[in-house]
Amino acid sequence: MTSCIALIVAAGEGERLGGPVPKQYQDLAGSPILRRSVLAFLRHGAVSGVQVVINGRHQALYDAAVAGLSLPPPVEGGVTRQDSVRLGLEAIASQKPAHVLIHDAARPLIDDATIQGVCDALKTHDAAIAAKPLVDTLKRGEGGVIAQTIDRANLWQAHTPQGFRYDSILSAHRRHAGSHFTDDAAVAEHEGLSVALIPSNPDNMKLTNPDDLDRARRLLGIGALPDLRTGFGFDVHRFVPGNSMTLCGHSFESDVSLEGHSDADAALHALTDALLGTIGAGDIGQHFPPSDLRWKGRDSAHFLRFAVDLLRQKGGAISHVDITILCEKPKIGPQRDAMTKKLCALLSIEPGRVGLKATTTERMGFTGRGEGLAVQTLVTVRLPFVEGY
Ligand code: MG
C-alpha cells in the first residue's frame, strides 16, 4: 500500500468560538472536536498514520482529548497556520510517506467518502483538495451596497483534507516559508502543481463561530436521536491465586485474582461487547485478538473507549448501561460506589444511567463452585436515524 499520513492541524488559538478552551478541544456531542477529526482519519483504510500539530501551551488539553488513541507525540506548531503545516511536514520526513493529507482539526464532520475521493485523485494528480461548488450568487460590496455581481461559475470553496505528494508539498512549503498563504493548495498552486477539485460533503464545514457548533450538533442529531438500540454482552473469567482484581475499571484487594490476557476485567469486556453490538461492529476479540501481544496485561478501559468512540463517531449517545456480576465471591457491595464512579468517568454519563448489581448462583454451576465469575451487560444507546443505515 502507498503510505499516506494525515496531518491534523490543531495549533490555532480558536477563540472565535468562545468557551473556556480553544475550539479544537471543545466538546461536540460527547467527544472533543479534535478527537472526532483524528478518529475520522485514524480509522480510514486509505490512511496509514496520523500526526497532529498543536500549540505547545495546549499539551494537557491535547493529552485529554486523544486519551487511549494510538498516536505519535504531537508536533509543536508555529506562529501562523502555514508555519505549523511546514513544521508538521518536516516532523514526518523520516517516515517517507508517499502522500500526505492536510486537515483542519476544526472540521470534525469530515466523512469517509470525501477522504477516499481525495486519496483516489492522488493516483492521477499531484494534488487534490476537498471543495464545495459555490451555489449562492456572489456580490462584491462597497459601503454596504452592491458594487458588482461576480460570476459564480467555476467558483469553489476550499475545504480540507487537501492531499499532496509528500515530497512536492514539503519542498513547496520550504520555499515559501514565511509567506502568508491561507491554505496548502495555494502553496502548491504557486509552485505550478495541478490541484484537482474533489466535491466535499457539504457538512464538512469549519467550526468557527458558536452558531457553527450548534449546527454541527444538529447535524449529528443530538437532542433528537430516534434510533433506539440495545446491546447485550457476556463474559467469563476464571479465578487464579492472587490478591487483587479489576472489575468495572476499579482495582481492589481480593483473595483471588482473575485469569486473562489483558487485565481480565470481565465487566468492561462484556460492556465493550454490548456497545459494539449496538452498531454491528463485531466483538472485542475481533478488534483486540488475545493472540496480539500488544493487549497483554492491557487496561481494559482502552477497549471500552474504543467502542465508545466508534459509537460517538456515528453520532450515537449512551442512554443507560446495566451490569450484573454473577459470583460467590468477591463481595461486590463494598466496591459498588467506586465501580460506578469509574464507569461514569469512562462512559461520560451520570450515575443515574448506570445499573450495577451482583448475585450468586446459589452454589450451582461454575460460578457457584467458585471457579470464576461471569458478567452480563445490557446497554441502551440512541443514534441519529439514517435510512438504510
Ligand atoms: Mg474477557
Question: 8-12, 231-235, 242-246, 309-313: lowest mean pLDDT where?
Answer: 309-313
In residues, how long is the chain?
A: 389
**pLDDT for 143-183, tens place per residue?**
999 999 998 889 999 999 999 999 999 999 999 999 889 99
* CA 363 to ligand 1 centroid distance, Å: 22
C-alpha torsion angle, residues 156, 3, 168, 51 (rounded to 10)? 70
Superfamily of segment(s) 4-219: Spore Coat Polysaccharide Biosynthesis Protein SpsA; Chain A (3.90.550.10)
Give me the half-sphere count of Cα atoms (radius 13 Å) on the Cβ side of residue 317. 19
* CA 45 to ligand 1 centroid distance, Å: 27
* CA 284 to ligand 1 centroid distance, Å: 8
Q: Are 87 and 53 in contact (CB under 8 A)?
A: yes
Which residues face 156 on adjacent strands? 133
* CA 309 to ligand 1 centroid distance, Å: 20
* CA 236 to ligand 1 centroid distance, Å: 6
At 346, list the grid cell. 469512562
The residues, ordered by sequence, that sit 6+ positions from 337 with a Cβ below 8 Å of its Cβ are: none
At 107, list the grid cell. 472540521
* CA 113 to ligand 1 centroid distance, Å: 34
Of 379, 378, 375, give the one whose Cα is nearest residue 264. Answer: 375
* CA 38 to ligand 1 centroid distance, Å: 28
Secondary structure (3-state) at 69: coil
Q: What are the sequence ranges of the domains in the chain?
A: 4-219, 227-383
Is the C-alpha dihedral spanning 141, 143, 146, 147 positive or negative?
negative
* CA 261 to ligand 1 centroid distance, Å: 8
Two domains, one topology: 4-219 and 227-383? no
**pLDDT for 334-389, tens place per residue?**
999 999 999 999 998 888 999 999 999 999 999 999 999 999 999 999 987 665 43
C-alpha torsion angle, residues 216, 221, 224, 227 (rounded to 10)? -170
* CA 279 to ligand 1 centroid distance, Å: 20
293 pLDDT band, cuts 50/70/90, is: confident
* CA 369 to ligand 1 centroid distance, Å: 20
The residues, ordered by sequence, that sit 6+ positions from 336 with a Cβ below 8 Å of its Cβ are: 356
* CA 389 to ligand 1 centroid distance, Å: 29
Among the CATH numbers 3.40.50.11030, 3.30.1330.50, 3.90.420.10, 3.40.50.2000, which is that of 227-383?
3.30.1330.50
pTM above 0.85, yes or no: no
